[in-house]
């Protein structure tokens, strides 16, 4: 009978695990308590698309740092392969990879997180897991092996989740560059007649802007 692994879903606590990395053994999510982190997998070391992604992540690391967010890479390669690949990137591309890379050579982490899709081969797909400062899984993305990720989008999503948490708002499509709302945030819809009327009064007073009572927005 085929075995099905239960993988975590949005809102779950990130599963506890001890992992081997290029920066030594780490415990997830405990070693990142109080910090956000992005765990991302790549199919294999010494491959062109993965190399461009690691460079792109490193070049955005300062922006992740400002968001109190750490980066962690992962593939089913061994530690020595990660180390040699990182050395190759520094020597040949002029970029030093400073974040840890998990060596999941037994594939246990990848299986727990659903990173291996049999129809796409035996390597990990390009998965992204965003975990908040309380160890809660907030976003999951899966990309096929042949398509590289947009790192700007991952920065944007971390920022958007933090804004949503802090202000209790939602974020429109392409925030903060929505064609109609610009960098405004969306106020959650009213849940009572009284709240609806209060919202319309605020709109009339110019405190917020509304297309209708259920679709209101404001600047932060």
The pLDDT score that the predictor gives to residue 54 is: 97
The pLDDT score that the predictor gives to residue 114 is: 86
Q: Is 125 within the bounds of a domain?
A: yes
Q: In angstroms, rounded to a whole number, what is the distance separating the alpha carbons of residues 158 and 132?
A: 9
Q: For residues 65-90, give the mean pLDDT.
A: 96
Of 114, 111, 138, the C-alpha closest to 14 is 138
Same domain flag for 78 and 173: no
The pLDDT score that the predictor gives to residue 123 is: 79
Beta partners for residue 164, in sequence order: none
Statement: residue 58 has pLDDT above 80: yes
Residue given tokens 């740092």 in the structure block: 65
Q: What's the pLDDT tens digit per position in 168-186?
A: 999 999 999 999 999 999 9
Same domain flag for 138 and 205: no
Please give the helix or strand (H or E) that residue 100 lies within, else none. Answer: none
The pLDDT score that the predictor gives to residue 5 is: 52
The residues carrying an active-site annotation are 50
For the entire predicted model, the pTM comes to 0.92
Q: What's the pLDDT tens digit per position in 20-37?
A: 999 999 999 999 999 999
Statement: residue 1 has pLDDT above 50: no
Instruction: Share the mean pLDDT of the chain.
Output: 93
Same domain flag for 117 and 192: no
Given a contact cutoff of 8 angstroms between Cβ atoms, the answer to whether 41 and 49 are in contact is no
Enclosing domain of residue 196: 168-220
Given a contact cutoff of 8 angstroms between Cβ atoms, the answer to whether 145 and 125 are in contact is yes
Of 68, 45, 90, the C-alpha closest to 161 is 68
């Amino acid at each position: 009978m085929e075995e099905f692994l239960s993988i975590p879903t949005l809102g779950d606590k990130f599963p506890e695990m001890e992992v081997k990395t290029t920066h030594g053994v780490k415990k997830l999510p405990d070693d990142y308590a109080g910090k956000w982190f992005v765990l991302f997998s790549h199919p294999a070391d010494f491959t062109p698309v993965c190399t461009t992604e690691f460079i792109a992540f490193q070049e955005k690391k300062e922006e992740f740092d400002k968001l109190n967010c750490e980066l962690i890479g992962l593939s089913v390669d061994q530690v020595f392969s990660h180390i040699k690949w990182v050395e190759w990137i520094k020597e040949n591309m002029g970029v030093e990879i400073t974040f840890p890379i998990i060596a999941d050579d037994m594939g246990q982490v990848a299986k727990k997180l659903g990173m291996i899709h049999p129809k796409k081969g035996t390597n990990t797909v390009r998965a992204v897991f965003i975990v908040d400062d309380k160890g809660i899984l907030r976003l999951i993305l899966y990309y096929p092996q042949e398509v590289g990720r947009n790192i700007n989008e991952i920065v944007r999503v971390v920022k958007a989740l933090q804004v949503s948490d802090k202000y209790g708002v939602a974020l429109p499509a392409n925030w903060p560059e929505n064609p109609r709302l610009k960098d405004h945030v969306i106020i959650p819809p009213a849940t009572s007649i009284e709240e609806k009327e209060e919202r319309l009064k605020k709109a009339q007073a110019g405190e917020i802007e509304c297309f209708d009572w259920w679709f209101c927005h404001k600047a932060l």
